Structure 1
Amino acid sequence: MMAIQGTWDDVFGKSPPKVVALASALAALLRALNPACVEVARPGDKAVSFGWGAAKMSQAYAYLMPQKDRVNLGFYQGANLPDPAGLLEGTGKSMRHVKVHDEALAQSAPLRALVLAAMEKSRANGGLE
């Protein structure tokens, strides 16, 4: 096991209950959309990644990162995702995130569509068709 890998509690253990509940709802969505996903807690990044394998940038498509009053649902290739609802934020070369403040957004169709698009882009880029 790599040193950057840890447990869910290493990442979310000190977060407020609201943040933990949001993270749990988002993780449930990610797991439901890909029951075979590989989930890696990365305490050094203060995030939990979800993907086709343990490699962060090449195999993961999404991550959850706790914030003071929300959870950032991030996408490693988010700059290349369709986002008709305008949920994505960020200015990096490839990464984007959605600031999730409530469960309504966590369960919304536009957010679900982003996750599915991220999964498909990652699958195609990784040759996992």
Structure 2
Amino acid sequence: MSAAGIITNDSAEFLQMIEASPESIREFGVAARDLIAQVDPNMVEVVWPKQRTAGYGVGPKKLSEQYIWLAPYTKHFVFGFYYATELDDPALLLEGTGQLMRHVKIRSMEQLQQTELRTLVEASVAHMQEKHQ
């Protein structure tokens, strides 16, 4: 493990990170990770066990190579977007006031199944891939 986290595409590190979370939060986490993997089968995953976050992108560097982060909380699961302010969000799913970052608080499986969330993931992946061509 490096100081930056554990680089992996194996779900074991992610599952270990969320194991202390309530069952519904673990289910949201697995579904969120699966959604990212469906959209970007070549994703690079970095798990930070102590921070209880995982990042996804074209490489391991948080701000320059990653497009999404996931984090479990007690009553919701955060699906975060590093470059959210540069993405279209016609359904207004994104919350937050950061210069670039925004997030979606997942409180139900229905939220994870929304077409609009998948569209945000697809746009986020495409945006990062464009930056790294």
- For residues 14-53 of structure 1, the aligned pairs below 5 Å read 14-53=20-59
Aligned residues: 127
Q: CA deviation at 1:12?
A: 1.1
Q: Which residue of 1 aligns with 2:90?
A: 84
User: Is there any run of 5+ residues in structure 1 with no aligned partner, and where?
Assistant: none
**Percent identity between the aligned chains?**
33
Q: CA deviation at 1:10?
A: 4.8
TM score, norm. by length of structure 2: 0.89
Is 1:126 the counterpart of 2:108 in the alignment? no
SS in 1 for 2:71: strand
When structure 1 is superposed on structure 2, of 92-101 and 10-19 the one drifting more is: 10-19
Code of the residue aligned with 1:68 in structure 2: it is: T
Among candidates 74, 98, 109, match of residue 68 of structure 1 = 74
Q: CA deviation at 1:125?
A: 1.4
SS in 1 for 2:51: coil
Q: CA deviation at 1:79?
A: 1.4
Q: CA deviation at 1:4?
A: 3.5
SS in 2 for 1:31: helix
TM score, norm. by length of structure 1: 0.92
CA distance in structure 1 between the aligned counterparts of 2:45 and 2:73, rounded to whole angstroms: 19
Superposition RMSD in Å: 1.3
